[in-house]
Amino acid sequence: MINVLPLVTQYTTLIPQNEHLPPISLTLKDHTRLNILTPTDIDELNNQHFVIKDNVFIDIIDSKTLITDCLPYFEKDAISGKMGQREEKWQNNNIRGDKIWWINDSTEIPKSLSSLVQMIKKLQIELNESTNLNSQFTQSHLTCYPGNNTGYIRHLDATTKSHSNRKLTCLFYLNQDWKPGDGGELMIYGDNKNIKVRPISNRLLIFQSGCVEHQVLSTLVPRYAFTLWMC
């Protein structure tokens, strides 16, 4: 029989108890190295464990062009999002319904995406030079939740058992025509309040991978984002 249970009633969370990582405390060593971020952003990463920057790379990245350029590559190489690591990987559309295209240094990518990757790698250098982050490598992918009520239930990107080397999650949203009612907001579960982040174009969201619980709410329309983890 076809499984018709909606996303959240079947599974509510993927987070086992006691698998959170402690928050990273960033020390600002040299504020002159900051460029995209400000000292206040570093404070927010320390205090609320996430920061949102809007209208980022606005002169460099046009989301529509980027998506159009990437679609042929994406359709050829994207896979369904999976949970777990290595041989333990598993997939379940009721947990996450995205298609992902993993990108590493040897992946052939269009120029528009390459500009974005470069900008976010600059962000890694900036954080390494201005703080004690000490990120040695990155992992990245482009994702598409195709609509049709797809999402990703409440989870952590790094736990003591899985992807424990991920320090910061950087998300760059690519949805120029997003409007209220489309869904696909990122729900961030904070200590005191929960925040819904709209996945709008040129919005950069950075959060601590091991302690910020988050969920992609069901989206009715295709929803694109680029994710880079600083490890």
- State which residue, 124 or 143, has the beta carbon closest to ligand OGA: 143
**Binding of Ni ion by 185 (CB under 5 A):** no
**Binding of ligand OGA by 133 (CB under 6 A):** no
**Binding of ligand OGA by 49 (CB under 6 A):** no
From the list 52, 225, 228, 230, which residue makes contact with ligand OGA (rule: CB under 6 A)?
225
**Binding of Ni ion by 157 (CB under 5 A):** yes
CB 188 within 8 A of CB 194: yes
Q: Which residue is nearest to Ni ion (CB)?
A: 157
Binding partner selected for residue 56 from ligand OGA, Ni ion, none, CB under the kind-specific 5 to 8 Å limit: none
Distance CA 7, CA 13 (A): 11
**Binding of ligand OGA by 203 (CB under 6 A):** no
136 to 155, contacts with ligand OGA by CB under 6 A?
143, 152
**Binding of ligand OGA by 209 (CB under 6 A):** no
Distance CA 166, CA 164 (A): 6
DSSP per position, the chain: ------HHHH--B---TT-PPPPP---BS-GGG-SSS-HHHHHHHHHTSEEEE-STTTTT--HHHHHHHHHHHHHHH-EE--BSSGGG-B--TTTB--EEEEE-TTS---HHHHHHHHHHHHHHHHHHHHBS-----EEEEEEEE-STTEEEEEE-S--SSSSTT--EEEEEE-BTT--TTSB-PEEEE-SS-EEEEP-BTT-EEEEETTT-EEEEEEESS-EEEEEEEE-
From the list 67, 120, 171, 228, which residue makes contact with ligand OGA (rule: CB under 6 A)?
171
Instruction: Number of residues interacting with ligand OGA: please give it, by CB under 6 A.
Output: 10
Binding partner selected for residue 216 from ligand OGA, Ni ion, none, CB under the kind-specific 5 to 8 Å limit: ligand OGA
The interface region with Ni ion, picked from 85-93, 136-144, 151-159, 186-194 by CB under 5 A, is 151-159
From the list 183, 214, 217, 230, which residue makes contact with ligand OGA (rule: CB under 6 A)?
214
Binding partner selected for residue 227 from Ni ion, ligand OGA, none, CB under the kind-specific 5 to 8 Å limit: ligand OGA
Residues that bind Ni ion (CB under 5 A): 157
